[in-house]
Amino acid sequence: MPKANPKRDIHRNMTVAEKRTVAAIRADVEARLPELMAKGRAARIRHDALLNAMKLLHDARVSKGMSLADVARLSGIDKARLSKLENDPHPNPTLDTLTRIAAALQSELSIVVSEAA
């Protein structure tokens, strides 16, 4: 039996059932769009807070003249992981990781809860 040609399958016409399924999915997404957009904005705010925390910890490390190796030794976090957290555009540190880095820098991590704007 010959292999299917994926390029040919991409351009085939959808069946009536497939068209109904796609239409239902589109309608569902359209109905949920405001909710999905709000979740996306909230995720972006959380992401920006993590970026800011990592930038502040990086700046503190540099201002104290400490190397990544120094922080790795004091925090118990692998040097490569620390480098990735400082340089990755999408860091995903845990609260424990942020706290350990701050402690290694003889700093304190503070979390402020306030009313949303």
How high is the pLDDT of residue 114?
82
How high is the pLDDT of residue 113?
82
- Mean pLDDT throughout 99-117? 89
Question: Distance (Å, rounded) from C-alpha 47 to C-alpha 89?
Answer: 10
Q: Is the pLDDT of residue 103 over 90?
A: yes
The sign of the torsion formed by the CA atoms of 59, 62, 68, 72 equals negative
Residue 76 φ/ψ region, left for φ over 0, alpha for ψ in the -120 to 50 degree band, beta for the rest: left
- Looking at per-residue pLDDT, the higher value among 112 and 39 belongs to 39
- Mean pLDDT throughout 44-73? 93
- Mean pLDDT throughout 85-96? 89
Q: In terms of Cα–Cα distance, which of 72, 70, 67, 95 is closest to 82?
A: 72
Q: In terms of Cα–Cα distance, which of 18, 97, 21 is closest to 53?
A: 97
Whether residue 68 contacts residue 83, with contact meaning beta carbons closer than 8 Å, is answered with yes
Q: Is the pLDDT of residue 23 over 90?
A: yes
With a CB cutoff of 8 Å and minimum separation 6, the contacts of 103 are 74, 75
Which tokens hold the place of 102? Answer: 């701050």
